């Protein structure tokens, strides 16, 4: 079996980080995050077969805010090995990750990036044996947590609905195209049944499940950065929710109107919403048209 790279995708705050932490405890797997290779560099500098373009791209990578600290690239080694061709972005990305994994004594690399599912076609064309795990979450809870963590503005339920549907649409499209290489995992399963979920993920990746995967270090209470305090995977993910801003009845009604069918397909139970007379008028005269405009205006960054 060809064990290619591992990619973790989906929106923010859907459990990618904790899956990465668990898998990275495996002696053969090194998964990085905050490299932003695909979103910041893919196809941005022209033909990398032209030395000037390659040097501009490499220079930008070395000056990036996060990438050098994460992957610790060796510019001379990259130049030497990349010069042997082919001169593609995907091969350049692979070299960066392979070197990093080798320094850690691991043989299989991976990358975590929000919405990396946009690049599924390029990933599977470039990396034989690649696997992509796409995380999803109940959009109502995801919206609340995203507001708490400043990923979304309060009131922009239209943009949030469009974002969730966009990612879910890519998940379904990619699963149809790459059924053996693409797996959708619900955040709620990671929280409620971490061992079972990780066993399924490991089977999908073709690696042995190790009990130590459940003993990762998670963030402190409130969803901040890692505190260094060991905790089980399920409790770590649960803590990530932080102090959520509860959705209003009118926001729930809008989201369920446009995403309800897809939510139900993934076993997210719809909530009954009963409006007072004033809520009824506010929803149809103010909330619905404004949220519909924001939904139509939303674009992936």
The pLDDT score that the predictor gives to residue 164 is 96
Residue 254 has a CB neighbour count (10 Å cut-off) of 25
User: What is the number of H-type helices and E-type strands within the chain?
Assistant: 15, 7
Whether this prediction's pTM lies above 0.75 is answered by yes
Query: For residue range 215-266, what is the model confidence (pLDDT) as tens digits?
Result: 885 433 333 343 333 344 544 454 444 445 688 999 999 999 999 999 999 9
The pLDDT score that the predictor gives to residue 221 is 34
Over pLDDT 90: what percentage of the chain?
Answer: 82
The pLDDT score that the predictor gives to residue 236 is 46
Residue 136 host element (H or E): strand 131-136
Query: For residue range 253-266, what is the model confidence (pLDDT) as tens digits?
Result: 999 999 999 999 99
Q: How far apart are the first and last CA of the chain?
A: 36
Over the chain, what is the mean pLDDT? 89
Name the region of 14 (left: φ>0; alpha: ψ -120 to 50; beta: rest).
alpha
The pLDDT score that the predictor gives to residue 225 is 40
CA atoms within 13 A on the CB side of 4: 15
> Which domains are seen in the chain, by residue range?
6-28+107-246 (3.40.50.300)
3 state DSSP class of 183: strand
Query: For residue range 154-173, what is the model confidence (pLDDT) as tens digits?
Result: 568 999 999 999 999 999 99
**Residue 13 DSSP class:** S
CB 243 within 8 Å of CB 222: yes
Instruction: Answer whether residue 96 shows pLDDT above 70.
Output: yes
3 state DSSP class of 185: strand
DSSP sequence for 198-257: HHHHHHHHT----GGGG--EEE-TTS-SEEEEE--HHHHHHHTT-S--PPPHHHHHHHHH
Please name which of 21, 300, 3 lies closest in space to residue 169, comparing C-alpha atoms.
300
Burial 101-123 (b: 16+ CB within 10 A, else e): beeeebebbbbbbbbbbbbbeeb
Q: How far apart, in whole angstroms, are the C-alpha atoms of residue 36 and residue 140?
A: 27
CA atoms within 13 A on the CB side of 5: 24
Q: How far apart, in whole angstroms, are the C-alpha atoms of residue 99 and residue 72?
A: 9
Q: How far apart, in whole angstroms, are the C-alpha atoms of residue 8 and residue 4?
A: 13
Query: Distance between alpha carbon 159 and the CA centroid of its chain, in Å?
Result: 18
């Amino acid at each position: 079996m060809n064990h290619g790279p591992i990619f973790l995708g989906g929106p923010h705050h859907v459990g990618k980080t904790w899956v990465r932490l668990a898998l990275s405890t495996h002696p053969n797997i090194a998964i990085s995050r905050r490299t932003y290779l695909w979103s910041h560099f893919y196809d941005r500098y022209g033909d990398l077969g032209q030395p000037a373009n390659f040097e501009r791209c490499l220079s930008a990578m070395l000056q990036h805010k996060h990438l050098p600290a994460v992957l610790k690239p060796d510019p001379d080694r990259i130049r030497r090995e990349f010069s042997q061709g082919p001169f593609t972005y995907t091969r350049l990305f692979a070299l960066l990750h392979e070197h990093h994994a080798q320094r850690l004594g691991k043989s299989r690399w991976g990358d975590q990036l929000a919405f990396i599912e946009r690049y599924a076609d390029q990933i599977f064309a470039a990396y034989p044996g690649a696997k992509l795990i796409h995380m999803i979450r109940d959009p109502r809870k995801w919206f609340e947590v995203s507001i708490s963590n400043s990923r979304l503005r309060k009131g922009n339920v239209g943009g949030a609905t469009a974002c969730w549907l966009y990612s879910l649409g890519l998940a379904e499209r990619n699963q149809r195209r790459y059924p053996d290489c693409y797996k959708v995992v619900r955040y709620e399963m990671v929280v409620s049944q971490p061992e079972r979920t990780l066993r399924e993920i490991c089977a999908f990746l073709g690696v042995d499940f190790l009990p130590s995967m459940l003993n990762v270090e998670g963030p402190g209470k409130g969803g901040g950065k890692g505190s260094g305090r060991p905790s089980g995977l399920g409790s770590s993910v649960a803590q990530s929710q932080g102090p959520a801003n509860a959705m209003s009845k009118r926001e729930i009604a809008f989201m369920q109107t446009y995403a309800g069918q897809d939510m139900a397909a993934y076993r997210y139970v719809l909530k009954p919403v009963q409006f007072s007379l004033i809520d009824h008028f506010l929803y149809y005269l103010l909330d619905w048209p404004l949220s519909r405009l924001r939904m139509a205006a939303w674009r992936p960054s």
